[in-house]
Structure 1
Amino acid sequence: MGKNVRERLTELGLTLPVASAPKGAYVPAVRSGTLIFIAGQIPLTDGVLTATGQVGAGVSPEAAKELSRQCALAALAAADLVVPLEAVTRVVKLIGYVSSAPDFRGQQTVVDGASELLTDVFGDAGRHARSVVGMAVLPLDAPVEIEIVLEAAVI
């Protein structure tokens, strides 16, 4: 599957960002056997939060959906630290956390941004299991955080 991942990113007009340095006592990604566990990614631009606040109160759902795409792209950059993206055979699971105003009920549409990006990049192998959780607040007041599990070929 992954042989054309970088070409596909280019076709989509996407560039992998530089993987974000950890904001605590953890690593960005860990490989265990064929699985790659990627730490939660928040939307950063040049190391600074792209936006802050709650979705539905200061951050629009449309903007948050784009932020979730940005998080998924950052997750791929983190994965690339431990395994070449060309070795990725499947997106297994995505967990999306959305900092939500008390009356916001569209968390799933926000996280669709990340899910759609993964399908755009990996095709059918990008279809995945998913959980979406609304939160009162996320680290650094990020509006969204995305965590991904990938499967890779044995190399």
Structure 2
Amino acid sequence: MGKDIRERLAELGLTLPGASAPKGAYVPAVRSGRFVFIAGQIPLTGGELTATGRVGAEVSPESAKALSRQCALAALAAADSVVPLEAVTGAVKVVGYVASAPGFLGQSAVVDGASELLIDVFGDAGRHARSVVGMAVLPLDTPVEIEIVLEAAEDPAV
């Protein structure tokens, strides 16, 4: 992606949040070779869950899509804590977990929020492989959780 990543975020009206502190015995992100593995991110505002509940019941699909986008932005912040975003060359994989009410079948559309953010930020380099899973419940009663793998330039000083 290169040095204009922060300019691109600003153009999109986005502000990179601070990386969230882990909610357990793990780290927010780990770099291994060219890859940055980002722990599952949940939608937080001011350190608190932005919303709780299951999509299709307490949370609308439209709201959940926006929460998914918020999770992806948090994932970029987590990545930035281990490698400068300027070194990121693209997205590799997204895994989305959606707490789903019985009968809710729109999980893929919810996770489109995260996928679209990566494409908005990185352009074609933001296109990625993806898995989406519907769950009965997620940690802390969050409606969505997003996990991302990014690729970075070999030289972290890029």
Q: Deviations over 1:77-134 (max 9, x none)?
A: 0000000000000100000000000110000000000000000000000000000000
| Counterpart in the other structure of 1:108 | 108
| SS of alignment partner, residue 22 of structure 2 | coil
Runs of 4+ aligned residues of structure 1 deviating over 3 Å after TM superposition are none
Is contact 1:29–1:36 with CA below 8 Å preserved after alignment?
yes
Alpha-carbon distance in 1 for matches of 2:114, 2:34: 22
Counterpart residue number, 1:140: 140
For residues 95 and 102 of structure 1, the distance between their equivalents in structure 2, rounded to whole angstroms, comes to 21
What is the SS of the residue equivalent to 2:4?
Answer: helix
Q: Which residue of 2 aligns with 1:154?
A: 154
- Take 2:5 and 2:102, find their aligned partners in 1: how far apart are those partners? 39
Distance 2:45 2:68 in 1: 13
Unaligned runs of 5+ in 1: none
In 2, the alpha carbon distance for the partners of 1:93 and 1:145 equals 14
Query: Which whole-Å CA distance do the structure 2 matches of 1:72 and 1:2 have between them?
Result: 19
The 2-side partners of 1:2 and 1:123 are apart by 12
Alignment of 1:1-155 (within 5 A): 1-155=1-155
The Cα RMSD (Å) is 0.5
1:122 alignment partner AA: F
1:2 Cα deviation after fit:
2.6
Distance 1:2 1:139 in 2: 35
Count of aligned pairs: 155
| Structure 2 portions without partners, runs of 5+ | none
Preserved contact between residue 2 and residue 122 of structure 1 (Cα < 8 Å)? no
Q: Distance in 1 between matches of 2:29 and 2:95?
A: 15
TM-score for both structures, normalised by structure 2: 0.97
Letter in 2 for 1:99: A
Percent identity, aligned pairs only, is: 83
